[in-house]
Structure 1
Amino acid sequence: MKILHLSAVRNWGGGESHIENLCHELKEKVCNVIFCVRDGMLHQRLKAQDHQVITAPLANKMDPRFILKLAYLCKKQNFDLLHIHDSTALTLAVMADHFASLPPFILSKKTSFPIRPRRQTLFKYNYPKIRKILCVSEATKNISSKTLCRAGRLEVVYHGTRLDNKTQKSPFEIRRKFGLPEAAVIVGNIGNHIEAKHLETFIYTADYLINRKKQKQLYFVQIGNFSRRTEALKKLVQQLALEDHILFTGYIPEASALIPQFDVLLLTSENEGIPQVIYESFYYNVPVVSTNVGGIPEVIENKVNGLLTDPYDHVGLGENLLFLLGNPQVIPNFAKISREKLFQNFTSKIMAGKTLEIYKTALNGRVH
């Protein structure tokens, strides 16, 4: 079976990690070819690996160079399926299908954003070549089904995390690199500076704990790609006089290897599929305090293997952090349950197996 994976994302995030993990797990059973943005972060990362990678420039969401190269590639090679990994890639694939007959589509829906009921948006998501839409959570499936026809195309496949690459050492020691006290309690967060992560709530939670509750031992470390939102976030930190307690590191390769140094993972998202960092925290036995958005309640049960709060509720998040730090005896049980959930349901090997079965179903047993 020959699969062309299509990505139009420049930065590195959970979706790109999914592509890497999926192709790694399926490499013995499937011929995977990855078509992505030239010199983007996915391309840069895959250069050092043994995946087959093809690239094209993408200056804007309708770059004809990308579209025409995709069409040419599908003309020249007999791909059984085109696995599309983001919304922009879907737009490009639909356009390319007008220049060459592309293979059937599999679409991964990795967020729980509602699909806008605009004509062009609905046209591409209901495109007849889409055989299956792989939803990252039940929440994603439920939200998508409200605006899409042929709801039978929707399948839930949790992404999970790889277990065979977790032995790597941390790239550095957080306390030493950033000059934090030895007694610092590190509240970590990994996520790019996008609206869905709502890092304003991350900052307001720190303000509540440090300035109002006088928890000066807490240090908030946020790792992820900067964006046009970053400057406003840094200004908010300054306005609240939190420069000594909140650190934005920017993108760090292999950031998940730093998770064992977190005392707590804090997620303040207003919208999510299911962030990969939750699975990675489960692996490293780091407790999670999070908002209860998207698919997160499907993997974290409040007060059973983590603590959940409504979105934007920085006081509730802060109180949950205080409870966790004041009652460390609950952490081992949270960690035990989380790790069991991970190994039973949320590994990349399980994800790849389910994806392969969907590939086979979509093709009805017919391959080139």
Structure 2
Amino acid sequence: MHVLHLSAVTNWGGGENHIENLCFELKESNPEIKNTILCARDTPFHKRLEKTDLNFITAPLKIKVDPRYFLKIGRFCKKEKVDLIHIHEPSALFAAILADKLYNLPPFVFSKKTSFPIKQRKKTLYKYNYAKIKKILCVSDESKRVAEKAIVDKDKLLTIYHGTNLKTKSTETPFLLKEKYNINGDKIIIGNIGNHIKAKHLETWIDVADNIINKKKNTDFIFVQIGTFSERTEALIDKVKSLNLESFMIFVGYQPNASNFISQFDISLITSQSEGIPQFIYESMYHKTPVISTDVGGITEAIEHDVYGLIAPVYDSETLTEHIFKLSKAPQLQKEFTKKSHEKLLDHFTTSNMAKQTLNIYKTVLNYG
């Protein structure tokens, strides 16, 4: 079996981490199956893949629909006798459909990694209901529920949780947060990992800091955010400055192995307005860092409120603030949350489980015995 994995994004995020983990797991567990990744050339994903032993190819992607990218799909499939195409995000799906019109490609499997509703537009519905798509792998039950509204053949939909790779775990970092940023040892670090995109709603994250530092007059906390900057970053920094929070909020930027920093966080805070299930959740569960999060996407499928962590309504910075005060003053509760969530992770949310389930889908689509 030869599987071609498609990603047409130009940054590094949870979706690309999923592709990398899936291919690593399949390479180790089923070396007879060849996996090749097609990514955009000269991007963080490309540079990261260069440091691995995974099979990959690249194509230019200077515009959203770059002919050099979708022509590469068709030519590679014909030359290398690809059996199945696993498409990992919407832009790559569109490119695969264009390539299929020219080359009559093998069947598709598509991964739905967010809980964004599929827009009820004719072109969008055509894309997601394209006949070559044999299965749609949803990152959570909530993502599956949302997708059902737009997918005609609902039997194509199923949930496979992504999980975390237990074999690559480390706490090694190029620097220690408290040393690099001169953070006093008794400060409580509230950490977040996520690229500066609309879904992460870091505006709420700043609102929480404003509540704690300015309104509650509590300076025991430092807020550390790790993730790739974007066109939204300037506005976020301006908001921090307008609230006089520069001494309490640190934007680290992109870090190649960002999850290694989680063990330096006292609490992981997620303020997203849309998610599938963020990788940051799984990594925090592994590193035994307690989680406080908004109730979006499939997050509560991993973190049940008051059992594995604390949950608040989306945009509700006041409740998130209360949760931070509650958890920071209750070390025993932190231990209970992290012990239970770590056990749940090992049972349900590993990339080993994810790879086995995904491979079974490949075999089903290709009618392998």
Residues 195 and 227 of structure 2 are in contact (CA less than 8 Å); yes or no, is this contact kept in structure 1?
yes
**Alignment counterpart, residue 99 of structure 2, candidates 91, 96, 100:** 96
Look up the equivalent residue of 1:203 and give its one-letter code: I
Match of 2:6 in 1: 6
TM-score by length of 1: 0.98
Look up the equivalent residue of 1:129 and give its one-letter code: K
> Matched residues in 2 for 1:57 and 1:286: separation?
39
1:59-84 CA-to-partner distances (Å, cap 9, x unmatched) read 11111111111111112121110000
Deviation of 1:327 after TM superposition, in Å, equals 1.3
Deviation of 1:170 after TM superposition, in Å, equals 2.3
Quickly say closer, same or farther: Cα 1:230–1:167, change in 2 above 3 A: closer
Residues 68 and 96 of structure 1 are in contact (CA less than 8 Å); yes or no, is this contact kept in structure 2?
yes
Look up the equivalent residue of 2:19 and give its one-letter code: I
Residues 75 and 101 of structure 1 are in contact (CA less than 8 Å); yes or no, is this contact kept in structure 2?
no
Residues 111 and 272 of structure 1 are in contact (CA less than 8 Å); yes or no, is this contact kept in structure 2?
yes
Match of 2:169 in 1: 166
After TM superposition, which residue ranges in structure 1, 4 or more long, deviate above 3 angstroms?
A: none
Q: Structure 2: where are the runs of 5+ without partners?
A: none
Q: Structure 1: where are the runs of 5+ without partners?
A: none
Match of 2:238 in 1: 235
TM-score by length of 2: 0.98
Deviation of 1:171 after TM superposition, in Å, equals 2.3
Look up the equivalent residue of 1:140 and give its one-letter code: S
Alignment of 1:111-126 (within 5 A): 111-126=114-129
Secondary structure of the residue aligned to 1:219 is strand
Is 1:300 the counterpart of 2:303? The answer is yes
Is 1:53 the counterpart of 2:56? The answer is yes
Match of 2:361 in 1: 358
**Alignment counterpart, residue 268 of structure 1, candidates 268, 271, 279:** 271
Look up the equivalent residue of 1:23 and give its one-letter code: C
Alignment of 1:142-221 (within 5 A): 142-221=145-224
Secondary structure of the residue aligned to 2:101 is coil
Alignment of 1:240-319 (within 5 A): 240-319=243-322
1:274-307 CA-to-partner distances (Å, cap 9, x unmatched) read 0001111111110000001100010001001100
Look up the equivalent residue of 2:306 and give its one-letter code: K
Residues 187 and 220 of structure 2 are in contact (CA less than 8 Å); yes or no, is this contact kept in structure 1?
yes
Secondary structure of the residue aligned to 1:128 is coil
Secondary structure of the residue aligned to 1:98 is helix
> Matched residues in 2 for 1:155 and 1:43: separation?
29
> Matched residues in 1 for 2:49 and 2:175: separation?
23
Look up the equivalent residue of 2:96 and give its one-letter code: A
Secondary structure of the residue aligned to 2:103 is coil
| CA RMSD of superposed structures (Å) | 0.9
Residues 171 and 257 of structure 1 are in contact (CA less than 8 Å); yes or no, is this contact kept in structure 2?
no
Is 1:32 the counterpart of 2:35? The answer is yes
> Matched residues in 1 for 2:243 and 2:177: separation?
23
Match of 1:17 in 2: 17
Secondary structure of the residue aligned to 1:361 is helix
Aligned length: 366
Deviation of 1:165 after TM superposition, in Å, equals 1.1
> Matched residues in 2 for 1:166 and 1:354: separation?
22
Secondary structure of the residue aligned to 1:112 is coil
Deviation of 1:167 after TM superposition, in Å, equals 3.2
> Matched residues in 2 for 1:171 and 1:149: separation?
49
Identity %: 53
> Matched residues in 1 for 2:80 and 2:26: separation?
20
Secondary structure of the residue aligned to 2:327 is helix
Residues 188 and 263 of structure 1 are in contact (CA less than 8 Å); yes or no, is this contact kept in structure 2?
yes
Deviation of 1:168 after TM superposition, in Å, equals 4.8
> Matched residues in 1 for 2:343 and 2:185: separation?
31
**Alignment counterpart, residue 45 of structure 2, candidates 33, 42, 47:** 42
Secondary structure of the residue aligned to 2:217 is coil
Match of 2:141 in 1: 138
Residues 115 and 144 of structure 1 are in contact (CA less than 8 Å); yes or no, is this contact kept in structure 2?
yes
> Matched residues in 1 for 2:299 and 2:174: separation?
28
Segment of structure 1 superposing worse, 261-270 or 210-219: 210-219
> Matched residues in 2 for 1:170 and 1:306: separation?
26
Match of 1:83 in 2: 86
> Matched residues in 1 for 2:57 and 2:311: separation?
41
1:94-127 CA-to-partner distances (Å, cap 9, x unmatched) read 0111110111000000000000011111111000
Secondary structure of the residue aligned to 2:203 is helix
> Matched residues in 2 for 1:211 and 1:295: separation?
32
> Matched residues in 1 for 2:35 and 2:171: separation?
26
Look up the equivalent residue of 1:15 and give its one-letter code: G
> Matched residues in 2 for 1:231 and 1:90: separation?
31
> Matched residues in 1 for 2:64 and 2:124: separation?
14
> Matched residues in 2 for 1:129 and 1:266: separation?
39
> Matched residues in 2 for 1:356 and 1:171: separation?
35
> Matched residues in 1 for 2:179 and 2:250: separation?
14
